[in-house]
Amino acid sequence: MSVIKNVAVAGAAGDLGTPVLNAIVNSGKFNVTVLVRTAGKATFPSSVKEVEADFTSVSSLTNALKGQDALVSTVGTSGLQGQTLLIDASIAAGVSRFIPSEFGSDLDNPKVGALPVFGYKMAVKKYAEEKASEHPNFSYTNIRNAAFLDWGLEKSFLLDWASGKPRIYDSGDQLLSATTLATVGQAVVGVLLHPEETKNRAVRIHDLSISQNKLLAIAKKISPNRTLEPYHDSTEKIFKGAHDKIAKGDYSPGVLFEFIICSLFGEGYGALHTSEADNKLLGIAGDKSDADIEAILKPLLA
């Protein structure tokens, strides 16, 4: 496979898109273009070229992608379904590698793939696989990073420090992989630098493995005077409750969020990547420690 030099990014201004874009730019290895609906609405590094595109039009996206070797998608929830158009446009424009916005939970795990919250992502995953089999010059790479470490702590997702009543799933001792946004960006760069080794497959990465109880202990160490009253909840009960609500037509964000919890903390969902991580290939050290967690939590708990 030829070397990737020209890289386009869709969704470059979001929580994940920004660190991914920065990693690609800072690598100094690529000519970078961002696809935007309207130019000038976001601020990007000076070396980055902005190209306007209608994200609902394959022809518009095709024109925007001409001359690109790879397309990285970091679009948010509202843009997930439209990634099939990005795939069609990539094929039409001769883009050889597509990295979809499929970060996080391991969609190759059947239990994860069956969760209603990942319906759009699964549809895009299957579409990319089909198109790659039909078009030999088109390929994809999926990046599985399990939990977002810094984002997950800042948003009180991995440990609800903000309310003072953190919900601990099951025993709280189960380990899961966690990865910072910056490391996800580094993984994207690693994929772009190793196109043949990462062709038409998922790569798995992580900075460390952590449990909720360990996070709670670190939080108490940092801020011993803060009130933290944990309570336990069962992922099996959460799963059943969410399915019952879905059966009644409730697809609200809160209900779908419960399925994400199951995908990361529930048994058998493959959220621990220690034995199968592609860290070495992608240039990821994977050596984050308690000190790194403390550095994230300290300003939050101050």
Amino acid in the structure at residue 196: E
Amino acid in the structure at residue 60: S
Q: What is the pLDDT of residues 66-86, one digit of tens each?
A: 999 999 999 998 888 899 999
Q: What is the pLDDT of residues 266-294, one digit of tens each?
A: 999 999 987 778 999 999 999 999 999 99
Residue 231 has pLDDT above 80, yes or no: yes
Domains of the chain, start order: 146-302 (3.90.25.10)
Mean pLDDT of the chain: 96
Residue 15, CA atoms < 13 Å, CB-side half-sphere? 12
Q: What is the pLDDT of residues 154-191, one digit of tens each?
A: 999 999 999 999 999 999 999 999 999 999 999 999 99
For residue 217, give both structure tokens: 């202990």
**pTM, two decimal places:** 0.96
Q: Could you give the percent of the chain with pLDDT greater than 70?
A: 100
Q: What is the pLDDT of residues 7-34, one digit of tens each?
A: 999 999 999 999 999 999 999 999 999 9
Determine the pLDDT at residue 277: 86
- Across the range 35-57, mean pLDDT stands at 95
Cβ atoms of 213 and 231 within 8 Å: the answer is no
Residue 160, CA atoms < 13 Å, CB-side half-sphere? 12
